[in-house]
Amino acid sequence: METPPTPHPLMYIIAFPFRLFCMVCTKKSVPLHQILSRQYKMESTAILLFHCPDKLGIITEITKFITDNNGNIVYLDQYVDQVDGMFFMRVEWEIKNFLIPADKISEYIETLYSKRYEMTFNLYFNNKKPRMALFVSKMSHCLYDLLARYKAGEMDVEIPCIVSNHEDLRYVAEQFDIPYYVWSIKKDWSNKAEVEAAEMELLRKEKINFIVLARYMQIISEEMIEEYPHQIINIHHSFLPAFIGAKPYHQAYERGVKIIGATSHYVTTELDAGPIIEQDVVRITHKDTPESLVLKGKDLEKIVLSRAVKKHVERKILTYKNKTIIFS
């Protein structure tokens, strides 16, 4: 049996009202670690994300399919792109009493609706935790933040491995008892193909669903990107598309800007140009130095990356062309 994560002391205070509410409503005491690790939650659900050309009756058809088969809808959100005439939707329903077996739902949607509506869709289940690999280099701030949130139960994922091109952060992985793998890449990149082949072998062995580049300072190859399309999340230390490339805070200082930002995006073959998931900014002044900009930027990077990862884990992101639709 998996050992429950150890929560931060403050989490006991935060969780107490909900625990009390559960005791009053159910006359049962809910273990705190279940609240904090999100084990005490709704029934098993299916999550359908799709987009297609906008047509009359799509919502009616999909919701009728769910309710006719004894599914209870617990979430529905949709959006129409009036410029491109595209329809986007996320719907989640309980499958405890659903008449169609979970492993057959995708086939039904494909047969009944995919061709009819020219639909591109993905189907997920909330009882299958996504398996996330973290790629890091030497900077620890994003890694620590993600692992702390994971340990506190804020992210419903599994983290089977941390991959790096340096030994520097092994101690962090050991603190959280996560295997740490190092493949050094030569400055001339002469062994890069060999390194990525070994990394891909590990990712397949661990059945990794998506990758987070937590300040991993290497360019990902086309082969890996094609293996994980829109499943590699990067954090860039600037408000893209401004200040692409190295040392963006120093570029911002030289330019004399009044805000700096951070951007989390999916990785594509075009450097720092993939679909943007999350962004945020902080104001700066003429008194700031490159060093103070870096410190302010690191705080932003942690927050922006964690928001992006959380949305991805919750299956609330649809990609279309080079944009994202983020459901609430």
- Active-site positions read 272
- Tokens for 77? 């959100």
What is the C-alpha R_g of the chain?
A: 22
Alpha helices in 186-258 (DSSP H): 192-205, 222-227, 248-255
Dist. CA 328–CA 126, nearest whole Å: 17
Dist. CA 321–CA 43, nearest whole Å: 34
Cβ–Cβ < 8 Å for 181, 196 = no
Residue 242's alpha-carbon distances to 256, 272, 291, 293, in angstroms, are 13, 10, 19, 15
Task: For the beta carbon of residue 325, count every other beta carbon within 10 angstroms.
Answer: 20
Cβ–Cβ < 8 Å for 288, 249 = no
Cβ–Cβ < 8 Å for 53, 87 = yes
Residue 310's alpha-carbon distances to 99, 130, 196, 232, in angstroms, are 31, 11, 26, 13
- Tokens for 89? 């939707």
Cβ density class 223-251: b for 16+ within 10 Å, e for less: ebbebbebbbbbbbbbbbeebeeeebbeb
Dist. CA 284–CA 288, nearest whole Å: 7
